[in-house]
Amino acid sequence: MTITKESIIGDVLDAFPQTAPVFMSIGMHCLGCPASRGESVADACMVHGVDADALIAELNKVVAG
């Protein structure tokens, strides 16, 4: 699975729990709440003022190990 802007955060966290610190580093401290788990990576980036491409690159880097 490659993480994209359309990936749902809950799905990413379920498949790759090691990505949680990356999400937390952009200010997503409520990873367990239904709203954050159901939004896309792009939506989270918009809300938190983060470059989506940079976040996706970092997430995929973590997943690749």
List, for residues 46-62, the tens digit of each pLDDT value.
988 999 999 999 999 99
Whether 29 is covered by a domain: the verdict is yes
Whether 49 is covered by a domain: the verdict is yes
Name residue 40's amino acid.
Answer: S
Whether 4 is covered by a domain: the verdict is no
Whether 19 is covered by a domain: the verdict is yes
- Tokens describing residue 59: 């997430």
28 contacts 36 by C-beta, under 8 angstroms = yes
Whether 3 is covered by a domain: the verdict is no
Whether 46 is covered by a domain: the verdict is yes
Q: What domain count does the chain have?
A: 1
Domain hosting residue 44, numbered range: 9-64
- Tokens describing residue 53: 């491409």
Res. 31 pLDDT band, cuts 50 70 90: confident
pLDDT of residue 1: 79
pLDDT of residue 37: 83
44 contacts 9 by C-beta, under 8 angstroms = yes
The string of pLDDT tens digits covering residues 3-27 is: 999 999 999 999 999 999 999 998 8
Whether 52 is covered by a domain: the verdict is yes
Whether 23 is covered by a domain: the verdict is yes
User: 53, 59, 63, 61: which is closest to 24 by C-alpha?
Assistant: 59
